[in-house]
Amino acid sequence: MSIRQYRPRNNRRKGISANQSLGLFLLLALTIAIQISYPLVSGDSLRYVTIITVVAGAILMLMHSLLSYGFRYFITFGSVTFLFALIVEIVGSKTGWPFGNYFYDDSLGIKFFGVPILVPFAWIMMAHPVLIAARKTIPSWAFIYGGAGLMVWDLFLDPQMVAAGRWTWDVVGPHVPFQPEIPLSNSAGWLFAGMGLMALLNLILPKERRKKGVNSTIPDIFLGWTLFSGVVGNLFFFDRPGVALLGGIAFALWISPYLFVISFGKPDLLK
């Protein structure tokens, strides 16, 4: 008779290596550096900066999702977000619902049914940090908080891209305050489409972190940078103080509960 020692299986994988962590921070720094160059270039250089910014940001968030939550999360998040965004954008550009009537310029590269393949990668870039914030802040209503996060991000994104000629709106009816070139229906569309994506991702993606030693620092920094760059860029480089005011207030109001939760813990009201 032999006695074998039982060792329970550890369901949590090892933390990422120092080199992997360094790589994530270097990619974050690269993404921010490329964004900083945006108002300093023009012409084809501006087009390339736009494309590289989106690709770098999407890769950053995909890599963070892989190292933080594992391969299943990574592949599910990336594929579902890409397909959801592509379908919504195709329907939106063809029918005018839910965003309003718009069409994309050819400057963003290869299109699929009128939608640049690049566009869903922009959704990936923001959906990952927004979903993390929503799940930490109000788990039971993550889809509402997350959808609002994507909507307030677009208050910075759309004016910048329309000004650069990346897409054009047919404005009928009321427009977004301080943004006469963008219909108010776009903000409503982003809210509802964002809630749909957040509800789907929150349902199908595992909630627990898969690996030790990985936190949300990089997505959190990216959210903070989005707010800071949106305000500073519109105030000092794009001459759009109204956009800076509206987007800055909306984004700050959205992110404040999340900052409170990660700084002081979650109050009973948000549980």
Containing 74, the helix (H) or strand (E) segment is: helix 71-95
Give the pLDDT confidence score for residue 148 in this predicted structure: 98
The Cα–Cα gap between 82 and 199 comes to 15
In the chain (271 residues long), the average pLDDT of successive 10-residue segments reads 44 67 95 97 96 98 94 97 98 96 96 97 98 96 98 98 96 96 97 98 83 79 98 98 98 98 79 57
Give the pLDDT confidence score for residue 20 in this predicted structure: 86
List, for residues 140-186, the tens digit of each pLDDT value.
999 999 999 999 999 999 999 999 999 999 998 999 999 999 999 99
- Angle between helix axes 217-236 and 118-137 (nearest 10 degrees) is 120
Give the pLDDT confidence score for residue 180 in this predicted structure: 97
E strands, 105-237, are 111-112, 115-116, 167-170, 175-176, 179-183
Contact 81, 196 (CB under 8 A): no
List, for residues 79-106, the tens digit of each pLDDT value.
999 999 999 999 999 999 999 999 999 9
